[in-house]
Amino acid sequence: DGGITQSPKYLFRKEGQNVTLSCEQNLNHDAMYWYRQDPGQGLRLIYYSQIVNDFQKGDIAEGYSVSREKKESFPLTVTSAQKNPTAFYLCASSTRVYEQFFGPGTRLTVL
């Protein structure tokens, strides 16, 4: 089945730690995205990548980093510089202007 997988589903982080969220897609989409969702805030764009080995900052990139070494994979690292990382993180992919397909999400909690 084609789709987007995110792992883990739940993630706990101690203060000062970096953590990496995985996102994989087998839809053969060129573009991939990371969003952060907070209650009552909608989704906010963290980073996006339109092609392998290239990515751009979104609206709230501070404290996050990404890589795009393979077309299928777009991992997100939440660094210790992100002061309020507790949130629901959603990965998506798309073909240019068409709709984005979303993964099931990772819920990150800071202990």
Cβ pair 54, 68 in contact under 8 A: yes
Per-residue mark of binding to other proteins, 10-49 (x: CB under 8 A): --------------------xx-x-x----xxxxxx--x-
| Interaction of residue 101 with other proteins, rule CB under 8 A | yes
| Interaction of residue 52 with other proteins, rule CB under 8 A | no
Beta strands in the chain (DSSP E): 4-7, 10-13, 19-25, 31-38, 42-51, 54-57, 64-66, 76-78, 87-94, 100-102, 106-110
| Interaction of residue 74 with other proteins, rule CB under 8 A | no
Contacts (CB under 8 A) with other proteins, residues 75-94: 88, 90, 92, 94
